[in-house]
A and B are shown apart, each in its own frame.
Chain A
Amino acid sequence: MEVPLILAQNLSKTFTVAQKDPGLAGTLKHFISRRYLRIAAVRDVSFELQSGEIVGFLGPNGAGKTTTLKMLSGLVRPSEGRVRVLGFEPFRRCAEFLRQITLVMGNKQQLIWDLPVLDSLRINAAVYQIDGHTAKERAREFAALLGLQEILTQPVRKLSLGQRMKAELMASLFHLPKVLFLDEPTLGLDVNAQLAVRDFLKTYRDRYGATILLTSHYMADIEALAERVIVLHRGGILYDGALRGLTDKFSPFREVDLELADDVAAQALAGYGEARKTQRRRYRILVHRQGLMQALAEIMARFDVRDLAVKEPPLDEIIAKVFSEGEV
């Protein structure tokens, strides 16, 4: 069997955090003796990624996504377990390893605030040993893909949030990394900018055959990019598999939209599942997957059905439901 490109075995990470009560008394107490709390951010997580995969990391805030990405990119050393990326142990920071990966953090930025993007790119070119000609070509290529041609010579502080994020992406991928760790790459962007970032990532993957592991709050990002998802919750893995399978596993319901010839009360349909009247003579029922066929047959028999559609509920609703319910 092929050696996995990314390997995480029984990863765990525990942090210690200082605690402080509010107010002056709390301040003084905190000054003299401190209480610490141990927080398990990641617990016994194992997974593998093959070359060329795009995997989405899902989970509410604090699920351990960012910590896992940081362990994979060598910023954080695991408390327990084993990580291998491209055959390297990330925390050692081998130059050879660092040249092949990147980590994009949507909430932080690496560009030099008061200088144009091109100056930051010059630094990256020197650091990653990209010669002048190639660097120029690549800057042109990326700028064209992201629609940034006009703004490369403006100081970063003058850019809009969307432009800045795109420029961040450009700088982070400038050395053509093989493995991309993306932590909320579309955070706070408007729909157009989100689309542009997604398209860019797709193009990059196709052109350079990269492996991508990304987290996002926007389901649309995951749906558009990832074939496989890993769901984290409270530091552990809840699900690892195909995106489609997620629906089956976590949402045993289907949404049935009905249009009837007669106007009836919603309660009449309540026997088949959670029923709601959306308009006059129109209804929406959440029906359990297993009883779906039977329920449809009964409805057809009992009512004069004008129109009928069966849908899967939207993915982000499922996800939200899973997380609010906690354990599944």
Chain B
Amino acid sequence: MRYLKLLLTFWQTSLAARMEYRTAFLAAFLEAGLEAAGKLFGVYLFYANGFDFGGWRWQEALLVMGLATLLDAFFIAIFNPNLRRVSEMVQDGRLDFVLLKPVDSQFWMSTQQFAAVGLPFMVVGVAIVVYAGVISGLGAGGWALLALSLAASLLLAYSLAFIFATTAVWLVKIFNVVYFLNTIVWTGQYPLQAYTRPFRLFMTFVLPIYFMTTAPAELALGRRTALWLGPLFLAALLLFIASRVFWRFALGYYSSASS
């Protein structure tokens, strides 16, 4: 409860700080629309040239694309600004202040920022997912599976991003690591089967993009049995625990290294 209140306060203040920039917000709206149109055009190019991403109906491919857009929106609104902040606060020593507060430091570092410019992307992402889900004929069970597996994929993405951000304690400047992660997520806009085999392996086992967009769509569409939800959550939880352990470990290093 306390954390929920804290979260709301955090986001309200960062909203206030960002609303200063009206044009930025407007630009983000245009950008979100343009980007969705561009991604759609990309999917169209493949289908127009007769490639169906290895057996996906186009509305199903659209569902994957919508999930990728939604995930991207979470990065823009929450993950990117906060993870960037980790690096900044290690640089100028402000992390000390956070460590003094009686609040879980990982929670603080993951939630203190909310970028309003991510909102238009969220709206667009949700719209595409809903549209694609409806024309793919998702039933109630399908929607439930989609929501659950999306939650798992967000947890997975967050944990992965936070682990990357934690390396700032040693590497200090890691702004662009976040960029790198964004690109990787960006490639999740096509179903995994669209790629050649080496890329498929990479996207499943090295950087688990498969679990973030393709897998939830497959579950919802009944291409895989609902039982796969178990391993998906297990993987997300394991990675989340790993991110906590790693953060603890990094803080130990941080406090012993700083003077």
Interface residues of A (CB under 8 A from B): 20, 23-24, 26-28, 30-31
Contacts and interface: CB of A to CB of B under 8 A. Distances in A.
B22 A24 contact: no
A164 to B, nearest CB: 15
A20 B17 CA distance: 11
A26 B22 CA distance: 14
14 contacts: A20-B20, A23-B16, A24-B12, A24-B15, A24-B16, A26-B16, A27-B15, A27-B16, A27-B19, A28-B19, A30-B19, A30-B20, A31-B19, A31-B22
Contacts of B19: 27-28, 30-31
Contacts of A23: 16
A27 B20 CA distance: 8
Contacts of A20: 20
Size bracket, chain B contacts? under 10
Interface of B: 12, 15-16, 19-20, 22
Nearest to A18: B20
Nearest to B22: A31
B113 to A, nearest CB: 16
Contacts of B12: 24
Contact residues of A: prevailing secondary structure = helix
A44 to B, nearest CB: 33
B17 to A, nearest CB: 9
Contacts of B22: 31
Given A24-B15, A24-B16, A27-B16, 11 more contacts: A20-B20, A23-B16, A24-B12, A26-B16, A27-B15, A27-B19, A28-B19, A30-B19, A30-B20, A31-B19, A31-B22
B19 to A, nearest CB: 5
Nearest to B18: A27
A39 to B, nearest CB: 19
Contacts of A28: 19
A24 B19 CA distance: 10
B96 to A, nearest CB: 17
Contacts of A26: 16
Contacts of A30: 19-20
A28 B12 CA distance: 11
A28 B19 CA distance: 8
A20 B16 CA distance: 10
Contacts of A27: 15-16, 19
Nearest to A34: B22
B26 to A, nearest CB: 11
The 5 A-B residue pairs with the shortest CB-CB distance, nearest first, are: A27-B16, A31-B19, A27-B19, A24-B12, A31-B22
A215 to B, nearest CB: 28
Nearest to A32: B22
A22 B19 CA distance: 13
A23 B19 CA distance: 12
Contacts of A24: 12, 15-16
Contacts of B15: 24, 27
A189 to B, nearest CB: 21
A128 to B, nearest CB: 31
Nearest to B21: A31
A27 B18 CA distance: 9
Nearest to B173: A114
A31 B17 CA distance: 11
Nearest to A157: B91
Contacts of B16: 23-24, 26-27
Nearest to A27: B16
Nearest to A23: B16
A33 to B, nearest CB: 11
A132 to B, nearest CB: 32
B259 to A, nearest CB: 13
B235 to A, nearest CB: 38
A31 B16 CA distance: 9
Nearest to A22: B16
Nearest to B15: A27
A299 B16 CA distance: 66
A30 B17 CA distance: 11
Nearest to B17: A27
